[in-house]
Structure 1
Amino acid sequence: MTNALSRSVAGRRAIVTGAASGMGRATALLLAAEGARVAVTDLDPEACAAVADEGGADTLPFALDVSDGVAIAHTVPQIAEALGGIDILVNNAGISAFAPLDAGDDYEAVWHRALAVMLTAHQRMVRASLPWLRQSDAARIVNVASTEGLGATAGDTPYVAAKSGVVGLTRGLAVDLGKEGITVNCVCPGPIRTGMTAAVPNEAKAEFSRRRTALRRYGEPEEVAHVTLSLVLPAASYITGAIIPVDGGLMARNA
């Protein structure tokens, strides 16, 4: 293991949920490249295996539906045994959850799925990982929310509610776990080029970026991953309860 103020994650044991694509994949591969042992978790076993192959011998695949509490309780101990412990948990798994309020039963289904995958799963993953995080000398939790948890887009209430909940959960966990030296922080990506935004035409991406972001472009998954990496370093020992937009200046720009 590394010293208390090290800027290295070499030898650290990490779980990344939703790691088969997008920001989760970028985070898992970055942690692996920096020398961490990484559990790649996602719904798709083949996609998990592909990312693990790319990450190298110390990157291990685990199929996991984070909306299934029983599966979390069963899988996290397996991960801890395979990695030799847990130092880092990145709750990244997410889904698209647009639904108009008057969509009836369809709205209810989207609402429950959004909260299950993007909020309830976060606290379940934390609670399942705690026995091993408590044994770590530099335990780090990063919850991935969204700028939709800091503002709102029309027709997006299930997603907004889930991501706003992640912001609140992060603060609550930071307070509860701070006395144990476990840090809990939240990354809020803005417009990022991922599978969720792949259907948005490039022209629309460019127009939105020029109109809304200070940097006038969409971000890349790797740019979010590097912020997450900075928060899980042993040296990031006095940062907790932080809510960090990674949005190209979207939240800073009025016009």
Structure 2
Amino acid sequence: MELQSTRQASGALASRRVIVTGGARGLGADFVEKLAADGAQVVFGDVLHDEGRRLAERLGANVHFVALDLADAASIDVFVQAAAQRMGGVDALVNNAAITNSGGRLADELSLETWDAVMNVNVRGTWRMCVAALPHLRESACASIVNIASDTAIWGAPRLLAYVASKGAVIAMTRSLAREFGAHGITVNAVAPGLTEVEATAYVPAERHAHYRQGRAISRSQVAGDVTGPVLFLLSDAARFVTGQVLPVNGGFVMN
């Protein structure tokens, strides 16, 4: 009976043409897998080429991997054009790819190179992805963008300044882009996850994970699936009148 209910509930994003950045592993891979399971066509990009190809092969004909480096503006343009050509257009963009690089350092310990690298990928890369996708999204009747921010930008996590600042910029961009793109019927929202147990957070000390668990209203570890549901909702028709919003998804560690 439970399986039948799941089947009936699936398909909210059937035939949607979705781009996902940073989709080779972790949160991004979960987005790609659940989107495909819901019937969407997905093209995802990453700098992790071997992992990306393996995931695409495993998920089947409606999922394709294209190499993408958000630090390279030309790579972004090539990626979006390839995705639009393969799917016949683009209905949605999930800006998930990001780097940290600044973890554990105080503000006065950061190098210019680290700061610039984080900003180039997380801020400039997100902006350029939105701009590259815009001509295709304008042609869609159900266009949406979901930017993956971070709750660290809401509560101000220490020893992570470049990343926190970059995710604060993503939140600010989300609001501004929502006003600009709204004229074309495109929704732009952000999801701000808490510390999620995926490959990219394996470096985080155990005490930081414990701090999060203890501070949450729902006191447990956060996994990728906790974030995927809200992202898929914001891409769906159920959220067509939701735009410019930032949704913390962290079990109540931060509350709006």
Same fold (TM over 0.5): yes
Q: Which amino acid aligns with 2:183?
A: K
Q: Provide Cα deviations, 1:157-181, integer angstroms capped at 9, x if missing partner.
A: 1011100000000000000011211
Tell me the equivalent position of 2:222: 219
Contact 1:101 1:107 in 2 (8 A): no
Alignment of 1:114-125 (within 5 A): 114-125=118-129
SS at match of 1:185: strand
Tell me the equivalent position of 2:64: 60
Contact 2:73 2:125 in 1 (8 A): yes
Aligned-residue sequence identity (percent) comes to 37
| Larger helix share, 1 or 2 | 2
SS at match of 1:111: helix
SS at match of 1:153: coil
Q: Are 2:155 and 1:151 aligned?
A: yes
CA distance in 2, matches of 1:115, 1:151: 20
Q: Which amino acid aligns with 2:165?
A: A
Q: Provide Cα deviations, 1:57-96, integer angstroms capped at 9, x if missing partner.
A: 1100011001111111122111100111100100000112
CA distance in 2, matches of 1:218, 1:117: 27
Tell me the equivalent position of 1:167: 171
Q: Which amino acid aligns with 1:222?
A: G
Q: 1:117 deviation in Å?
A: 1.1
Unaligned runs of 5+ in 2: 1-9
Q: Which amino acid aligns with 1:128?
A: A
Contact 1:145 1:188 in 2 (8 A): yes
Q: 1:101 deviation in Å?
A: 2.4
SS at match of 1:102: helix
TM-score between the two structures when normalised by the length of structure 1: 0.91
Q: 1:7 deviation in Å?
A: 6.9
Contact 1:7 1:235 in 2 (8 A): no
Unaligned runs of 5+ in 1: 1-5
Q: Are 2:105 and 1:102 aligned?
A: no
Q: Provide Cα deviations, 1:219-238, integer angstroms capped at 9, x if missing partner.
A: 11111011100000123110
1:82 to 1:216, Cα distance in 2 relative to 1, 3 A: same
TM-score between the two structures when normalised by the length of structure 2: 0.91
Q: 1:205 deviation in Å?
A: 5.5
Contact 2:149 2:167 in 1 (8 A): yes
Deviation larger for 47-56 or 184-193: 47-56
Alignment of 1:226-245 (within 5 A): 226-245=229-248
CA distance in 1, matches of 2:53, 2:34: 16
Q: Which runs of 4+ in 1 moved over 6 A?
A: none
Q: Which amino acid aligns with 1:117?
A: V
Q: 1:201 deviation in Å?
A: 5.3
Contact 1:177 1:183 in 2 (8 A): yes
Q: Provide Cα deviations, 1:146-201, integer angstroms capped at 9, x if missing partner.
A: 00121212221101110000000000000001121100000000021012321345
Alignment of 1:1-255 (within 5 A): 8-96=12-100, 97-98=102-103, 99-103=105-109, 107-200=111-204, 202=206, 204=207, 207-252=210-255
Q: 1:38 deviation in Å?
A: 0.3
Q: 1:210 deviation in Å?
A: 4.1
Give the aligned length. 245
SS at match of 1:86: coil
SS at match of 2:42: strand
CA RMSD of aligned residues (A): 1.7
RCO higher in 1 or 2 (8 Å CA, sep ≥ 6)?
A: 1
